[in-house]
Amino acid sequence: MLQRLNRLKKRKEFNYIYKKGQIAHADDFFVHYVRAFKPYPQIGISVSKQVGNSVIRSRVKRIISEACRLNIDKFAVKNYVITAKESAKDKTSLDIEKQLLRLLKKYKLNRENDV
């Protein structure tokens, strides 16, 4: 699980990011991102009811969260909302982690690229 510091909390912040942010796509999820409010990256995770019942949703959320936690150093200092697609329910944590890293590279969200 992510540290408390790196979580997004307020509904307002989520709405702001949905409204103003840019979108990056991967196979099983997509990411809204926008400039940071704080000097460290913050991540919120959203899994809609279409993905499955509460057990499956919870599992998807944890896997994504775990992938983010292990790679939190590689995120550029921005705010992110990661939304899971319906296909994410059968994936393992390795798959998700691989996709996340590829996405960060592709959209130049690595920390080295941050200015």
Partner RNA sequence: CAGCUUGGUCAGAUGGUCGCAAGUUGAGUGAAAGCUCAGUUUGAGGAAAGUCCGAGCUUCAUAGAGCAAGGUGCUUGCUAACGGCAAGUCUAGGUGACUAGAAGGAAAGUGCAACAGAAAAUAACCGCUAUACCCCUGAGUGGUUAGUAAGGAUGAAAAGGCGAGGCAAGAGCUCACCGCGAGUUUGGCGACAAACUUGGUCCGUGUAAACCCCACCUGAAGCAAGGUAAAAUGUCCAUUAUGGUUGCUCGCCGGGACAUAAACACCGCUGGAUACAUAGAGCAAUUUAUGUACUAGAUAGAUGACCGUCAAAUACAGAACUCGGCUUAUAGACCAAACUGCCAC
Partner RNA sequence: GCGGGUAUAGUACAUCGGUAGUACGCGAGCUUCCCAAGCUUGUGAGGUGGGUUCGAUUCCCAUUACCCGCU
Which whole-number Å values give the CA distances from 93 to 17, 27, 72, 100, 104, in the listed order? 26, 14, 15, 11, 17
Spatial separation of the C-alpha atoms in residues 25 and 40, rounded to whole Å:
23
Contact between 73 and RNA (CB under 7 A)?
Answer: no
Spatial separation of the C-alpha atoms in residues 28 and 30, rounded to whole Å:
7
- The tokens describing 34, both together, are 């926008």
- Considering only 9, 35, 105, 111, the residue that binds RNA (CB under 7 A) is 9
- Considering only 22, 23, 35, 94, the residue that binds RNA (CB under 7 A) is 94
- Considering only 4, 39, 73, 115, the residue that binds RNA (CB under 7 A) is 4
Count the site residues for RNA by CB under 7 A: 27
| Contact map string, positions 26 to 65, toward RNA, x by CB under 7 A | ------------------x-x------xxx--xx-xxx--
* β-bridge partners, 29: 84
Contacting residues toward RNA, per CB under 7 A: 1-5, 7-11, 14, 44, 46, 53-55, 58-59, 61-63, 66, 69-70, 92-94
